[in-house]
Amino acid sequence: MMKSDKVSVSIVLSAVFVASIVIVFVLGCVSDKSGIGSFYVNSEKEIKIPVVQLITTPARTHIGESRAVLSSEFSSKFNSTAIVTKRKNNKLEQVLANVRAAIRKAASIKNKSVIFKNNDLLSGQIYRNPNAFYRSYEEMERRFKVYVYEEGELPIVHDGPCKDIYTSEGRFIHEMEQGNNRFRTRNPEAAHVYFMPFSVTWMVKYLYQPNTYNVTPLKEFVSDYVRIISRKHSFWNKTQGADHFMVSCHDWGPVTSQGNALLYNTSIRVLCNANSSEGFNPKKDVSLPEIHLYGGKVPSKLLHPPPFNSSRPHLAFFAGGVHGPIRPILLEHWKDRVSDISVYEYLPKDLDYYDFMLQSRFCLCPSGYEVASPRIVEAIYAECIPVILSDHYVLPFSDVLRWEAFSIQVDVSEIPRLKEILMSVSEDEYTRLKEGLRAVRRHFVLNKPVKRFDVFHMILHSVWLRRLNLRVG
């Protein structure tokens, strides 16, 4: 179906281009009112276009609490606007307005203690604002509805990888389509968001010519897909794609999304490669954790980390190839050094990767070819404090989670001082970080069937927050 539609790709692209010019112009209107007169005169049809506003951060008046559910990236940039055509279902918008108010109210509660409710245990220290998160999560469970487009065919649409490094992509698509979850609706009129269930990893497998570095066929596929759903249904045009989302864990997810300018600039892109200097926009995009499953499973050693207080003889551990911009620096300083910092390019045959993680206090997680690393989630499972070594990486769920409660971030320029930095972490601080890891683990676990607060729900909650930040109509 997709292939036969390819002929008119260029026409669609130019139509989309016009649409993006309109957006630029209207955005310009907000800040700069000069010189827009002729534009308005020439395009009366566009005048009716209402504005999508990003809501302000909950409880902004409470200093210290102001980050609430949302992170500082959100609160600082809330004035930007995008456009939307036509009015959406007003009742649905009214409900969302009530939800926003409820979350703001919860965010203002200054009680950070552990929340017990319906057997939920939320350990306050790992959340930016536990009350706001809990309220937002409950509202999501109660109300959030996702429509999944049925267009597109196997193998590229309605499927994705479940046994490799890009598992998060396939597992989400499968769960959304086949899982027995409460979020999918078959009635698109009742939906808050619209999911496009294509797999970039499968595009790479089926459409990409190896070694060409030519991603055009991938972009064309995406362009076709958006064209088809936007012609057949009214929803894309209503919001210019702002309430639509895609999910990709492949390194090329971001570049593939360039196949449609609105998808790239306006839609919610859920991406492992959440590189903020390559167009990842935390206001609207979602950082997806990279979870490496071997043959579809978490390595069994990681399922049972050693007892909390058992000794970990190694200070820090890394083993992996010299990929991307950061690892060469790490290996240059620490590889083959006789030191507590165990850094390998190739792990010697007599050593086991996961045993090493389980026996290390800190696990080094440098970016590779892309910003995300499966080591972060493996370290969480292994209760080995992740040491994040990356530039421009927007960490998963950082709009609700306090990463500083369970990980350490070391600036790339500080890599030469790594040992000193890790040695200076006190025993109390280390215990606190490890308790944080125990508490946060549930948010990074893939379950089948899904469980409350697990990674599926956290991803969906990130999308829910982006949708809440969109005021349509």
Which residue number is nearest to ligand NAG in terms of Cβ? Answer: 261
Token pair listed for 307: 């007892």
Closest distance to ligand NAG from the beta carbon of 55 (Å): 11
- Between CA 462 and CA 459 the distance in angstroms is 5
Strands (E) across 391-444 are located at 408-409
Q: Which is nearer to ligand NAG, 162 or 262 (CB)?
A: 262
Question: Is 230 a binder of ligand NAG (CB under 6 A)?
Answer: yes
The reply on whether position 311 binds ligand NAG by CB under 6 A is no
- For ligand NAG, the binding residue among 6, 142, 392, 452 (CB under 6 A) is 392
Close Cβ partners of 438 (under 8 Å, ≥ 6 residues apart): 308, 383
Contact 82, 242 (CB under 8 A): yes
Q: Check binding of 469 to ligand NAG (CB under 6 A).
A: no
Q: Please give the C-alpha separations between residue 354 and each of 3, 5, 339, 357, 371, in angstroms, as whole numbers.
A: 44, 47, 20, 5, 22
Interaction of residue 108 with ligand NAG, rule CB under 6 A: no
Among the listed residues 325, 344, 354, 442, the single contact to ligand NAG using CB under 6 A? 325
Beta bridge partners of residue 287, listed in sequence order: 271
By CB under 6 A, is residue 77 in contact with ligand NAG? Answer: no
Rounded Cα gap, residues 46 and 58, in angstroms:
32
Tokens, residue 170? 């396939």
| Closest CB 272 distance from ligand NAG, rounded Å | 11
CA distance 53 to 66: 19
Q: Is the CA virtual torsion 397, 399, 401, 406 positive or negative?
A: positive
> Minimum distance from CB of 115 to ligand NAG (Å)?
6
| Whole-angstrom distance, CA of residue 231 vs CA of residue 59 | 41
How many CB atoms sit inside 10 A of residue 224's CB?
A: 23
CA distances to 158, 326, 334 from 380, in Å = 30, 21, 23
Stretch that binds ligand NAG, among 42-50, 226-234, 298-306, 331-339 (CB under 6 A): 226-234
Return the number of the residue (176 or 367) whose C-beta is nearest ligand NAG.
367
Distance CA(261)–CA(65), nearest Å, equals: 36
From the CB of 268, what's the least distance to ligand NAG, in Å?
15
Enumerate residues 231-270 that contact ligand NAG by CB under 6 A.
231, 234, 237, 258, 261, 264-265
For ligand NAG, the binding residues in 110-129 under the rule CB under 6 A are 111, 113, 115
Using the rule CB under 6 A, give the single segment among 39-47, 272-280, 312-320, 414-422 that binds ligand NAG. 272-280
What is the enclosing helix (H) or strand (E) of 171? helix 167-178
- Cross-strand pairs, 360: 314
- Cβ proximity to ligand NAG: between 392 and 417 the closer is 392
The residue to which tokens 């997709």 are assigned: 2
Q: What minimum distance in Å lies between the beta carbon of 22 and ligand NAG?
A: 10
Q: Contacting ligand NAG (CB under 6 A), which of 308, 352, 429, 452?
A: 308
Comparing CB distances to ligand NAG, the nearer of 199 and 367 is: 367
Using CB under 6 A as the binding rule, whether residue 216 contacts ligand NAG is answered as no
* Per CB under 6 A, 163 contacts ligand NAG: no
Cβ nearer to ligand NAG, comparing 239 with 460: 239
Nearer to ligand NAG, 10 or 178 (CB): 10
DSSP type of residue 305:
P
Do 120 and 453 contact (CB within 8 A), yes or no?
yes
Instruction: Tell me which residues touch ligand NAG (CB under 6 A).
Output: 15, 20, 24, 79, 111, 113, 115, 230-231, 234, 237, 258, 261, 264-265, 275, 277-278, 308-309, 324-325, 367, 370-371, 392
